[in-house]
A and B are shown apart, each in its own frame.
Chain A
Amino acid sequence: MARNKRAIPEINAGSMADIAFLLLIFFLVTTTMDVDKGLMVKLPPWSEEPPPEDNEIREKNIFVVLVNSNNQLLVEEEYMELKDLRSSTKLFIDNNGDGSCEDCRGARDPKSSENPTKAIISLQNDRGTSYDMFVKVRNELLGAYSELRNELALRKYGRAYDLLNEEGKAAVSEVYPQFISEAEPVSVGG
Chain B
Amino acid sequence: MAQIRKKKSKETPPVSTASLPDIVFMLLFFFMVTTTMREVTLLVKVKKPKATEIQKLDRKDLTTYIYMGAPRNTELYGSEPRIQLDDQLGSVGDVQSFVILKREEINEAERPKFTVSIKADIDVKMGLISDLKQELRKAQALKISYSTNPAGSPEELYKTY
Could you list which residues of chain A lie within 8 angstroms of chain B, going by C-beta atoms?
13, 16-17, 20-21, 23-24, 27-28, 30-33, 35-46, 71, 81-83, 86, 125-136, 138-140, 142-143, 146, 182, 184-185
Contact A143 B144 (CB under 8 A): no
A-B contact count (CB 8 A): 167
Given the complex, which residues of B lie within 8 Å of A128, measured CB to CB?
125-127
- Interface stretch, picked from B5-13, B28-36, B83-91, is B28-36
A130 to B69, CA, bound (A): 12
Can you list 23 pairs linking A and B with CB atoms under 8 Å apart? A24-B28, A24-B31, A32-B38, A36-B63, A36-B65, A37-B55, A37-B147, A40-B55, A40-B145, A41-B144, A44-B137, A45-B140, A71-B161, A82-B158, A125-B130, A128-B127, A130-B126, A131-B121, A134-B129, A135-B49, A138-B146, A142-B53, A143-B52
B102 at the interface (CB under 8 A from A): no
B59 CB to nearest chain A CB (Å): 10
Residue among B56, B65, B143 making CB contact with A35, cutoff 8 Å: B56
Residues of A within 8 A of B140 (CB): 45-46
Whether B124 and A131, one on each chain, are in contact in the complex, defined by CB atoms closer than 8 angstroms, is yes
**Chain B residues with CB below 8 A from A81, complex form:** 158
